[in-house]
A and B are shown apart, each in its own frame.
Chain A
Amino acid sequence: MLIEMIPELGHFALVLALLMALVQAVVPLAGAATRRPLWMAFARPMAAGQLFFLLVAYACLTASYLLDDFSVANVANNSNSLLPWYYKASAVWGNHEGSVLLWSLMLGAWGFAASCFSRDLPSDMLARVLGVMGLVSAGFLTFVLVTSNPFTRLLPTPPQDGADLNPLLQDFGLIIHPPMLYMGYVGFSVVFAFAIAALLGGRLDAAWTRWARPWTNVAWAFLTVGIALGSWWAYYELGWGGWWFWDPVENASLLPWLAGTALIHSLAVTEKRGSFKSWTVLLAITTFSLSLLGTFLVRSGVLTSVHAFANDPSRGMFILALLGITVGASLFVFALRAPRVSHAVSFSWLSRDALLLVNNILLVIMTVTVLLGTLYPLVLDAMDLGKISVGPPYFNALFVPLTVILCVFMGLGPLSRWKAMPGREMARRLALSGALALTIGLLAPLVYGGEWNLWVSLGLVAALWVVLPLVRDLIDKSRRSGSPVAALKRLSPAYWGMVLGHLGLAVTIVGVTVVSNYNVERNVRLAVGESASVAGYDFTLTELGQQRGPNYMADTATIAVSRGGEERLFTMHPEKRLYIARGMPMTQVALRPGLLRDLYVAMGEELGDGSWALRIQYKPFVRWLWLGALLMAAGGLVAVVDRRYRRRVKARSGQSSGDQGAAHLSAPREASA
Chain B
Amino acid sequence: MAIRRLGLPAFSRHGTATLRVSLLFSVLFSVLFSVLLSLTLSLLAGLAANQAQAAVEVRDFDSPVTAERYRSLTDGLRCPKCENQAIGDSDSPVAKDMRERVATLLREGRSDREIQDFMVARFGDYVLYNPRLEDRTLLLWGLPAALVLLGGVLVALIVRRRRRASARALSAEERARLDALINRHSDASGDH
Contacts and interface: CB of A to CB of B under 8 A. Distances in A.
Direct contact of A and B (CB under 8 A): yes
A180 B161 CA distance: 43
Given A393-B76, A417-B186, A495-B191, A386 B178 contact: no
A588 B125 CA distance: 34
B159 A473 contact: no
B166 A494 contact: no
A113 B140 contact: no
Contacts of A247: 84
B11 A658 contact: yes
A388 B131 contact: yes
Contact of A368 (B18, B143, B159): B143
B53 A586 contact: yes
A563 interface: no
Interface string A327-338: 000000000000
Given A385-B136, A389-B129, A348 B166 contact: yes
B187 to A, nearest CB: 7
A671 B181 contact: yes
Contact of B12 (A117, A349, A369, A648): A648
B2 interface: no
Contacts of B166: 346-348
Nearest to B34: A630
B57 A523 contact: yes
A593 B131 contact: no
Given A214-B22, A626-B40, A668-B186, A637 B129 contact: no
Given A357-B158, A495-B190, A614-B56, A238 B140 contact: no
B59 A523 contact: yes
B159 A357 contact: yes
Contacts of B63: none
Interface string A568-598: 0011110001000000011111111111000
A648 B14 contact: yes
Interface stretch (A19-27, A56-64, A87-95, A603-611): A603-611
Given A593-B42, A657-B11, A525 B84 contact: no
B1 interface: no
B10 to A, nearest CB: 6
B129 A393 contact: yes
Contacts of B127: 389
A240 B57 CA distance: 12
Contacts of B147: 365, 368-369
Given A240-B89, A495-B192, A630-B40, A368 B55 contact: no
Interface in A399-427: 402, 405, 414, 417-420
Interface string B167-192: 11110000000110111111111111
Contacts of A613: 56-58
B149 to A, nearest CB: 10
Contact of B18 (A304, A373, A589, A646): A646
A220 interface: no
B162 A346 contact: yes
Contacts of A402: 144, 148
Nearest to B20: A117
A362 interface: yes
A246 B50 CA distance: 21
A304 B83 contact: yes
B71 interface: yes
Interface in A92-137: 113, 116-117, 119-120
Interface string A172-198: 010000000000000000000000000
Contacts of A349: 159, 163
Contacts of B190: 473, 477, 491-492, 495
A603 B58 CA distance: 12
Nearest to A573: B46
B12 to A, nearest CB: 4
B154 A630 contact: no
B21 interface: yes
Contacts of B126: 387-389
Contact of A604 (B15, B45, B51, B55): B55
A419 B169 contact: no
From B33, B43, B53, B127, name the one whose CB has the most chain A CB atoms within 10 angstroms. Answer: B53
A386 B76 contact: no
B155 interface: yes
A391 B49 contact: no
Nearest to B48: A236
A641 interface: yes
Given A218-B25, A613-B58, A623-B40, A498 B192 contact: yes
Contacts of B17: 116-117, 119
Interface in A346-401: 346-349, 352-354, 357-358, 361-362, 364-365, 368-369, 372-373, 376, 380, 385-394, 397-398
A634 B25 contact: no
B165 A637 contact: no
B45 A592 contact: yes
Interface residues of B, number: 95
B148 to A, nearest CB: 6
Contacts of B189: 490-492, 495, 664-665
B29 interface: yes
A497 B25 CA distance: 15
Contacts of B159: 347-349, 354, 357
A238 B182 contact: no
A524 B58 contact: yes
B94 interface: no
A418 B180 CA distance: 10
B143 A346 contact: no
A305 B83 contact: yes
A455 interface: no
B144 A358 contact: no
A539 interface: no
Contacts of B162: 344-348, 353-354
Contact of A238 (B42, B50, B136): B50
B15 A365 contact: no
Contacts of A664: 184-185, 188-189
A602 B165 CA distance: 63
B130 A391 contact: yes
Nearest to B9: A659
A389 B128 contact: yes
A671 B182 contact: yes
A69 interface: no
B47 interface: yes
B179 A388 contact: no
A292 interface: no
B47 A591 contact: yes
Nearest to A247: B84
Contacts of A364: 151
A640 interface: yes
A602 to B, nearest CB: 5
A353 B165 CA distance: 14
Contacts of B57: 523, 604-605, 613
9 contacts: A120-B14, A344-B165, A346-B167, A347-B162, A394-B129, A418-B186, A572-B45, A615-B56, A623-B40
Interface of A: 113, 116-117, 119-120, 167-168, 170-171, 173, 214, 218, 221, 225, 229, 232, 236-240, 242, 245, 247-248, 268, 304-306, 308, 344-349, 352-354, 357-358, 361-362, 364-365, 368-369, 372-373, 376, 380, 385-394, 397-398, 402, 405, 414, 417-420, 473, 477, 480, 489-492, 494-495, 497-498, 521, 523-525, 570-573, 577, 585-595, 602-605, 607, 613-615, 623, 626-627, 630, 633-634, 637-641, 643, 645-648, 657-659, 661-662, 664-665, 667-668, 671-672
The 7 tightest CB contacts between A and B, nearest first, are A604-B56, A346-B166, A391-B129, A239-B54, A393-B130, A646-B15, A344-B165
